[in-house]
Amino acid sequence: MWPKTITAFLGGLLLSVSMMLSLYLLIPLAIDIKLLIGLLAGFSIWVAAMVYFYSFNNPKTSALRCGKFLLLSVAINSLLFWYQSPL
């Protein structure tokens, strides 16, 4: 259970940070609203990712899925940062 926990905790953290940044860049709202949405969505994504990673039978499958999602999310983030200024 420990390897799965490490994947769920760290993978969930990285994925949530990455997705939260994408959300921030995509939502066309005032900065203070985006910050609040980002904070609440960040924790929700983190826990949703943990539930997803814990649902696999073994830690290896869990880590592989985590890696795939993370790569996809980082790629989207890179594109967003490339095409628009964060502030």
What residues line the site for another protein (CB under 8 A)?
Answer: 1, 4-5, 8-9, 13, 17, 20-21, 24, 30-33, 35-36, 38-40, 42-43, 46-48, 50-51, 54-57, 81, 86-87
Closest distance to another protein from the beta carbon of 62 (Å): 9
The least distance separating another protein from the CB of residue 21, rounded to whole angstroms, comes to 6
Q: Which is nearer to another protein, 28 or 32 (CB)?
A: 32
How distant, in Å, are the alpha carbons of 54, 61, 87 from that of 29?
34, 37, 12
Which spans in the chain are helix H? 2-6, 12-26, 31-54, 59-83
Q: Please give the span between the terminal C-alpha atoms of the chain, in angstroms, as a whole number.
A: 41
Q: How far is the CB of 67 from another protein (least distance, A)?
A: 19
